[in-house]
Amino acid sequence: MAENAARAAELGAPVIDLNFGCPSKCVNKSAGGSYLLQFPEQLYAIVSAVRAAVPSTVPVTAKMRLGFEDKSLAIENALALEAGGVSWITVHARTKLEAYRPPAHWHWIGRINDAVSIPVVANGEIWTVEDALACKAESACDRLMLGRGALARPDLPRLIKGESEKVLSWSEMKLVFIRYAELLIGTGLPVQVAGRLKQWLAFLQKGYAEAALLLKEVRRLKCPDEICVRALAS
Catalytic option among 22, 135, 141, 228 = 22
Is 223 among the catalytic positions? no
Q: How does strand 89-92 pair with strand 120-123?
A: parallel
Question: Using CA atoms, how far apart are residues 154 and 168, in angstroms rounded to an integer?
Answer: 8
Report phi then psi at 90, rounded to 5. Answer: -100, 130
Contact 160, 129 (CB under 8 A): yes
CA dist list (Å): 213 to 33, 201, 208, 210, 216:
35, 10, 9, 5, 5
Contact 68, 78 (CB under 8 A): no
Q: Which positions are catalytic? A: 22
